[in-house]
Each structure stands twice: as C-alpha cells, then as structure tokens.
Amino acid sequence: MSEMIEVVQAYDRALIKAIPADDAQALETKLATAARTLSARDAWLKPHQRGAILQRAASLLEGRVEAFAKLIAQEGGKPLTDALVEARRAVDGLRNAADELRNFAGREIPMGLTPASDGRWAFTTKEPIGVVAAISAFNHPLNLIIHQVAPAIAVGCPVIVKPAAPTPLSCLELVALLHEAGLPEAWCQTLITEDNALAERLATDPRVAFLSFIGSARVGWHLRSKLAPGTRCALEHGGAAPVIVDRSANLDAIIEPIVKGGYYHAGQVCVSVQRIFVHAAIKVEFVERLSARVAALRVGDPLLPETEVGPLILPRETDRVASWIEEAVGRGTQLIGGGRLSRTTLKPAILLDPPADAKVSEFEVFGPLTCVYGFEELDQAIDIANALPVAFQASVFSRDIGPALRAAQRLDASAVMINDHTAFRTDWMPFAGRRQSGYGVGGIPWTMKEMAHEKMLVLKHDG
C-alpha cells in the first residue's frame, strides 16, 4: 500500500485530503516513460496540436477559476481575493504559451560573407531540449506550475513536475485538466513526495535534460552542483527586495502599493518588499502613514473574502519569522504592530532601523514584515541596498526624474520598478534573479527559449 501524504489547510491545519505518495519505483517508471516519449520522434505532438491543447486547457481552467482559487486559499493560505487573481493569471499563462508558438522560430544565418562560406544557405530551427524536471514552490501553487509546465508543453518537452509537499493539490488538478484537454499523460506526469532524496534523484537523473527549480537558494544551488553532465537548469530563488523612497515621492500615492508589495500573501513572495529606504526629510510622516495602513490590514482566514493577509505556510516558518523579529527588538529596534494570531498566522509588523547585521536586514524574511531605514544621501541608500549577495527586483519612488533614473541605473537588480512596488510582474516579461537569487530567465516566452535547442542546418548549393 502506498504511503499517504496528508494535505492540510495552511490556516488552521485542518485536513483537506490524503493523497498517495510516489516511491522510487514510481519515479523510475515516470522517468522511463518520459525518456521513451522523447525518443519516439514520429509520435511527437505537432506545434498546432500543442497550441490547441494549451488553448483548450485555458478554456477549461477559465470555467473553474473559483474552484482553483478556493484550493489555492486552502492549501497555500493565500487570501481568496489574491487566489482568484492567481487562477486568472494561470488562464492567461496557458494562452501566452500557446500564442508564443507563433513567434517561436529560428533565424537565417548569413552566408556568402567570405569565399569559404559562398554557395551555402544556413538557418536554425528549434527543437525541444529533452525531458524536463520541474520542482516547484508552495507560494503560488497553481501559477508557478504553469510557469514551468506550459512552456515545456509548448516547446514539446516531456515534463515531470514535483509540486511543493504542502501544496500538491493545485498541481494535481491542473495536470488532470491538461490531460482532459487532450495532452497524452506521458507528456506531463507528477511526482508526489515529501522525500527530498527522491526529488534530488529526479533532478539529477541523466535522462533529465533541463531542471526548472523554484525554491530556496540552498536547495537550488545544491541541486545544480549535482546535475548530470549536460543537464541545463533554471533556478528561481528569493531576495530581500529594496525600495528607495526619494524625498520628492508623493506619499498620498505610494503607501498603498508599498503595503501591497510588502504584505501580499503574508510576504511569502520572492520579490516581496522587505527593505524600505526613506529619505530622512519625509521618514516620520512616511512611517506614520505606513503604520496606519498596516494596522488596518484585515488578517485571518484566507477563505473569507475580506481577508487581506493570511497565514504562513507552516508553523515552523511562523516561529522563524517571530524569532527574527524578536532578535531585532532585543537589539533595540522599534517594533510597530506584530504579534501572533495562531500557529501559522502573524500580525503584520514594521521594524524601524534594525541593525545592518540583524537577520531581518541580511536575509529574506518571507513573512508579513517590512523594515524601514532612513537615509540622507541617495547613493548611501543605493550602496546599502546593493550590499547583500542576493539581487532580484527593486523599486524607487520619486516625482523627480533625476533621482529616479540614478537609482534605476545603479540598483543591482534584474528589474527596477519606478513608482511601483517590487512584486510587480507579468508572466510574459523576463523574470530573473541575479547572483545568489537565481540562474537563467523565467517568464513564459523566456522559459520556452531555455527549454529548446537551436539546431543549424547548412545547405550547400551550386547556384
């Protein structure tokens, strides 16, 4: 009899469903199936078939948005209003992958530029890179799977996806929906396990050509070091996103986006607003306004439509965030808000000028907390913002173009938002961490490029 995994609600730890776990033999069967599917070249799905499947899946998902949103809120703890946004994004993501097939092509390579290259015509074509192993995270249990699986399907790669252990249900429902839309089961399989060693075996198997990993930097970089020779990868980790608030910033306009960016999904977002650097001339008023809005956030059961901040994913994560706050307070940092509602639910908090070597200043919090620091000179704030080994998205708020562009040019980030929060994203834009924050480029069209080989054909002719 298979071992069972109990999936519980993030908010109150109530059982949602028990599902069977996969073992080593199941993994071997799935890998063999994926490899066999790839090798059967004549049976590959044609681009028009792949596009049609993705479009049908989008239509099916569009009719089930509310059901998926409820499941996201239950297993992941994301407030229902935000879970609905995630489910609708997933619909668009499937269509985005299908639409991108119209542009997914090689290019002509110029010949005849030297005598040796005369009499030749060369061009490239796109081919699937091979079997994809996709290991995903809990915080967007539907849309992250879309980011990994939809590009693989579009390109024509057999994919085995392992969802995060606390949030497998959205993944299972999505894969079932893809099969319902006409995708043969061999092209998209799941690995359901709480066994990290088994997940590592998936990632490092020599039959895997591409690893897509979303999760902690510690695990991601470890897996990259263990990949079989020739296996490519994309790693998406986290950061400690900086926001710079220039003295010219419009306080009437910026508080709401900063609060959304900092406390959306209880801060469990890889580009969540964490470190806010505010010019000393406006710091007092900024903190007053920020504190008032954070205090008004409605915290609790994510299934209630009015909830704005839900739980963290696990009790141990709640304990960790609480301990980091306590460490900063113990070193003389002023705390605004905070406290605990349940085993997994923390009240949103603000820390004022925590030490530079406090955990909340050095590491990704991944909880409902922002830290506010004052500065006198813009370059001082930029230098501190850039001082960590992680770098992902950043933002600057300013009504003056000079400080906005100076910060945008000098912030060490893959994307800088001007007058918007750090967590802004569309699924068709490039999304990538720098340095320890990641490797490769996410975003559906960009992932499709990474999951494909470019093959060159050179035709010699006498004309």
How high is the pLDDT of residue 179?
98
Average pLDDT over residues 414-443: 90
Is a pLDDT exceeding 90 seen at residue 434?
Answer: no
Annotated catalytic residues are 236, 270
Are 406 and 453 found together in one domain? Answer: no
Q: Are residues 20 and 142 in the same domain?
A: yes
- The answer, yes or no, to whether residue 447 has pLDDT greater than 80, is yes
Model confidence band, residue 436 (pLDDT cutoffs 50, 70, 90): confident
Percentage of the chain modeled with pLDDT above 70: 99
Look at residue 37 and tell me if it is in a domain: yes
Distance CA(165)–CA(167), nearest Å, equals 6
For 370-390, the pLDDT digits (tens) are: 999 999 999 999 999 999 999
Range of the domain at 352: 241-426
For residue 118, tell me if it sits in a domain: yes
Q: What's the confidence (pLDDT) of residue 330?
A: 95
Entry pTM: 0.93
Please give the tally of structural domains in the chain.
Answer: 2
Whole-Å CA distances, 45 to 42, 48, 290, 382, 409: 9, 8, 53, 49, 44
Pair (197, 289) in one structural domain = no
Give the CA count within 13 Å in the CB-facing half-sphere of 289.
Answer: 16
- pLDDT greater than 90 at residue 1: no
Q: What is the pLDDT of residues 299-322, one digit of tens each?
A: 999 999 999 999 999 999 999 999
Does residue 253 sit in the same domain as residue 230?
Answer: no
CA distance linking residue 286 with residue 288, whole number of Å:
5
Please give the average per-residue pLDDT across 210-226, as a whole number.
93
Question: Cβ contacts of residue 215 below 8 Å, gap of 6+?
Answer: 135, 136, 137, 164, 236, 237
Task: Give the pLDDT band (50/70/90) at residue 241.
Answer: very high
DSSP per residue, 231-270: -EEEEE----EEEEE-TT--HHHHHHHHHHHHHGGGG-ST
Q: Is 294 a residue whose pLDDT tops 80?
A: yes
Residues 402 and 288 both lie in one domain:
yes
Q: Is residue 407 part of a domain?
A: yes
- Same structural domain for residues 153 and 248? no
Per residue in 83-114, pLDDT (tens digit) is 999 999 999 999 999 999 999 999 999 999 99
pLDDT grade for 463, boundaries at 50, 70 and 90: low
Whether residues 195 and 247 fall in one domain: no
Q: What is the CATH number of the domain that holds 412?
A: 3.40.309.10
Q: What is the CATH number for 72?
A: 3.40.605.10
Instruction: Place 433 in a pLDDT band, splitting at 50, 70 and 90.
Output: confident
∠ CA 243-365-259, rounded to 5°: 45
Percent of the chain with pLDDT over 90: 92
